[in-house]
Structure 1
């Protein structure tokens, strides 16, 4: 079996320079779990991911497949008009991706590179030439070294660590670049543009997703200006007064194609709690019974005040001390004003005193 050409470049340039080292590349037909037809794409195995380009000269990839969710890789023996084509089924945690290589030899070599990068060991189950096995051994060594020496991924900064000015738009999410791509791809109905912290923790970025025979992601840097406001760092920078204007500018520039990402987080509909079984100690999740809230107890009827009603002296003193001293307060006038009955009793007492004094004289 002759060794297939690896088609590796002497050195990447442009946006591809930001990708991990490319171990193997070539054309493959790809059909994802949600795709109805296969597409012929230039495929690059860079680090622990497959990057798909429309052609070999494109600088921007149209799709990325992270092999961290690898489950299995097996041959697909189905046939169609192209009798020389050899098919693979790459099963991931989120679904199956069907890959078609030009021939059996190319398929075996792709399997060798994929297994080497995923398992970090040269596969022994494949029929390969000594030169091909040596290539795989070199890839294993490079990938092991890359994973040891690469800078640990820094946790995405929180909104508070980013010096934001003004109100934060609802499409802001404290996620990394990769997490932003996953969010936009999983929830296409919630919008296709979100604002997130930049990698340096001081700037911001806008991540967008659109469909062009698959997911196409773009990332735009947003920085603060010394004189105030923000600017979208593109070829012709777009100044904006605040972050809301940043989002509005991108919506306007794309004629409404880009829309802010608004994900409604679900809330629980029932109250649940965990308790232990008294017999076996097993912990069980229970749902609290849903019953209407108890009615508040009815307040006692207010007792009206009557000019003829008598109240004990202590009660009058308490009410008198708690009522403001405003002369316009009817409650105070009611308590302090003598009743007609009181006036009559006072007059009778005066008359008796006068008669008693007259009799004594």
Structure 2
């Protein structure tokens, strides 16, 4: 179980810690020789803290605020320590700036501006050594400030990596779910097609077995019609309903080669629109006398759902019930060009002599 801490609570804690440093500064305000630089340092620190804790569109701190915080980390120690020496600060909270700058740099690092935070921390270390010697790093808590900035940096990197990993896992999970859904759809479609093919072919197969393969010419022709119908179920998919199947079979019995190609262009149609399109297709097959007839779906994004083309060939008049002829024969003549729209109000049929 992942427990998330509200951002308001984190900001409130940071504000309390920052305010605590200002309280210590106010308590020790009698230590500095001149109060104006000391108060100016307090104002700069308060301003930098407020800017750093303001609500932002992104978790990453704006560059100009990070640069301002870095400048405050350089200026505030100079303003404070210029008003007293280390002996005067002993036993007081006059050196409040060391912990305050450390807190400000932790906030800067937490908001993913690590370079600015480390530059400000380094400036604090250098200034403290110059003012109180190496021992001042321990006496005034600078080592602790450096440690907190390091911890903040490490935690920030860990959280960023965890966020990236979470997004990658979520993406992988989504892809896995989509893959599983696609596989289940393929299996379901395959089972449906196999079942449908079995129902269509079983009577003819039983008849073939009954006559031990000795079929009459009429029975052989029926086998060809059945093979064409099975091919329609595979290629035609949503281009088929009972009316379309009936008209295709009638057209084939009259010698018309019918080819259906469903490439997914009508998968998004609602039930009513699909029925209207298929009924219009059935009417076109019924009313057209042609040698070859091809119905194909149009890709999504077009106003047209299905195109229907009727062709006549200048040959000896023998047509294949399996649709083996192509539509690009140089001797083919276009008898019918029909575009069945997706929307009922859009009509663009055309018939060529």
Structure that is richer in strand per residue: 1
TM-score > 0.5, shorter chain as reference: no
Structure that is richer in helix per residue: 2
Report the TM-score when normalising by structure 2: 0.21
Report the TM-score when normalising by structure 1: 0.21
